[in-house]
Amino acid sequence: MAKQLLGKEVTAALNEKIKANVAELQAKGVDPTLCIIRVGENPSDISYERGATKRCETLGVACEKILLPEDVSQDELLATIDKVNKDDKIHGVLLFRPLPKHLDQAVIENALAAEKDVDCMTDLSMSGVFTGKKIGFPPCTPQACMEILDHYGIDCTGKKAVVIGRSLVVGKPAAMMLVKKNATVTICHTRTVDMPSVAKEADIVIVAAGRAGVVGADYVREGQTIIDVGINVNAEGKLCGDVDYAAVEPIVDAITPVPGGVGSVTTSVLVGHVVEAAMRNTDFGISSEQIDGLFLNLQFKNNSLLCTTGTSLKTFSMDKRPEQLWDDMILSFLSRNQILFERL
């Protein structure tokens, strides 16, 4: 019997971190705020909105809503986005998609300021996923997959990983996040030849195929970890994933259930991004006088030079920005001098 990778355990751990950060922000007089923009009355949008609002309330994050009619004009929607871009009290924005067909979705998506793009809607945010730079935020669903792997101590280093699905919403970003975790990644899609054989070779499989039960027993083997991103409704009217759970669960080592897996983590990731956006925009009052030291340890190991950075403050603080700034300075130096490096 496979170990169930339950989302509720991951969510509980994430929520504790978020609450601590919210308390730190509120001590500075900052109320982290999410703005939800919904066009029309799509039932799935309303359902997700309800869940996001509830999670915000639980974690102490304010939530504003802008509800627009389905026939809203492009100019009016762009004006709405421009308004939230300029509102310093709003730290993150969630715009439900797809938009009605009379709207140019690409133009509207990229009108949002990247620093408020908490679900990777803009091209700038997506570039951050692929370059490893902190531009905007990664998509919440693949980030939730990574949080599950981290929480349960599933090390990706040197492992073979297969991502089934190549969308920009889940598949491609998930693949890049796994590469960042030092996995060797293969992306499967509708044109992949003999997909079951490819999937069987993997240690970790993330399934975002968009079809109920498409991954069966012929796709898996013993020892694998399966992350099921899919949310579907079967013929009996019950929620199910892209994995045939009954067929796969007895074979593999670990698997996320549907419901109760990735989806339950995604909302906390979204709220966490809002809080992080607020923290990036908040001055926590650390001056150069409070920095006791900046450290750079160089170690030659396995024909490579390993660089480890560190900072020391004269007074205790949870602010990670000095560490990030010091890391950025070192990376900038390496880049300017055309020194090849890999960030671990």
Are 135 and 271 found together in one domain? yes
Are 11 and 98 found together in one domain? yes
The CATH code of the domain that includes 198 is 3.40.50.720
Range of the domain at 294: 288-336
Are 165 and 239 found together in one domain? yes
Enumerate the β-bridge partners of residue 184. 160
Instruction: Tell me what percent of the chain is helix, strand and coil, each rounded to the nearest 5.
Output: 40, 20, 40
> What's the pLDDT at 317?
67
- Characterize 136-151 residue by residue with b for buried, 16 or more Cβ atoms within 10 angstroms of its Cβ, and e for exposed: bbbbbbbbbbbbbbeb
Show Cβ contacts of residue 226 under 8 Å, excluding neighbours closer than 6 positions. 2, 205, 207, 215, 220, 243, 248, 252, 254, 255, 256
1 belongs to a structural domain: no
How far is residue 11's CA from residue 261's CA, in Å, rounded to a whole number? 10
Q: What would the pLDDT profile of 241-263 be if each residue is shown by its tens digit?
A: 999 999 999 999 999 999 999 99
Are 149 and 70 found together in one domain? no
> What's the pLDDT at 323?
79
Contact by Cβ (8 Å): 80, 103 = no
> Under DSSP, is residue 191 helix (H, G, I), strand (E, B) or coil?
coil
Tally of domains in the chain: 3
106 belongs to a structural domain: yes
229 belongs to a structural domain: yes
Of 136, 174, 153, which is closest to residue 273 (Cα–Cα)? Answer: 136
Q: What is the pLDDT tens value at each position of the chain, 344 positions in all?
A: 899 999 999 999 999 999 999 999 999 899 999 999 999 999 989 999 999 999 999 999 999 999 999 999 999 999 999 999 999 999 999 999 999 999 999 999 999 999 999 999 999 999 999 988 888 899 999 999 999 999 999 999 999 999 999 999 999 999 999 999 999 999 999 999 999 999 999 999 999 999 999 999 999 999 999 999 999 988 888 899 999 999 999 999 999 999 999 998 999 999 999 999 999 888 655 566 677 888 888 888 788 888 888 888 777 666 677 777 787 777 767 765 667 777 66
Final residue before a domain boundary, out of 264, 298, 315 = 264
Are 145 and 27 found together in one domain? no
Tokens standing for 185?
């990644």
> What's the pLDDT at 148?
98
> What's the pLDDT at 298?
87
DSSP structure string for 143-174: HHHHHHHHHTT---TT-EEEEE---TTTHHHH
Are 133 and 272 found together in one domain? yes
Final residue before a domain boundary, out of 234, 256, 280 = 280
205 belongs to a structural domain: yes
> What's the pLDDT at 288?
62
225 belongs to a structural domain: yes
Are 81 and 223 found together in one domain? no
Final residue before a domain boundary, out of 253, 280, 307 = 280
Are 154 and 295 found together in one domain? no
Are 271 and 253 found together in one domain? no
- DSSP E strand stretches across the chain: 3-4, 33-39, 62-68, 92-95, 160-164, 184-188, 204-207, 225-228, 232-233, 239-240, 254-255, 291-301, 304-313
Are 167 and 191 found together in one domain? yes
Are 108 and 148 found together in one domain? no
What is the torsion angle, in degrees rounded to the nearest 10, for the CA atoms of residue 64, residue 53, residue 255 and residue 132?
20
Burial of 251 (0-12, 13-18, 19+ CB in 10 A): middle
Are 275 and 248 found together in one domain? no
Enumerate the β-bridge partners of residue 64. 35
245 belongs to a structural domain: yes
2 belongs to a structural domain: no
